[in-house]
Amino acid sequence: MTPSQLLEDYAQALARLREALASPAQDDLDRAGCIQYFEFCFELAWKTIKAVGEQQGLNELTSPRACLRQAFASGWISAELLWLEMLDARNRMSHTCKYQDALVVYEQLPAFLPALEELLTTLRQEV
């Protein structure tokens, strides 16, 4: 996929996450949906960083962590530690099925949203 296509998919996924977080979750199904939207957003975020970086001639964008470091170095994200927390949250949700972990991640989602929005705004200027 091209950086433009990835960016559009990222924008759509972020809109769904923003919409899902606009009202409090009524049950575990709502919370699970919000977490899934976050996972989609995070995956699209790092893959978009990778695509835009490669288009600009940046090398060694081989993993989500490497992409986040490059995005910080390039000024595309301003809160590297928050993004690393997002990476950790995504990894916990992808590799474990612990209910308590899911609740912790759900509670973090509102704090993640501004950083996800910032990246979208910044990458739109790069593409």
Give the CATH number of the domain where residue 43 resides: 1.20.120.330
pTM: 0.94
Q: Over the stretch 3-20, which tens digit does the pLDDT of each residue have?
A: 999 999 999 999 999 999
Contacts of 6-12 spanning 24+ positions with Cβ under 8 A: 6/44, 6/47, 6/48, 6/51, 7/48, 7/52, 7/120, 7/123, 7/124, 7/127, 9/44, 10/41, 10/44, 10/45, 10/48, 10/120, 10/123, 11/120
Q: Please tell me the total count of domains within the chain.
A: 1
Report, as an integer, the average pLDDT of 59-67.
Answer: 94
Q: Which domain holds residue 49?
A: 3-126
Q: Over the stretch 75-110, which tens digit does the pLDDT of each residue have?
A: 999 999 999 999 999 998 887 778 888 899 999 999
Model pLDDT, residue 100: 86
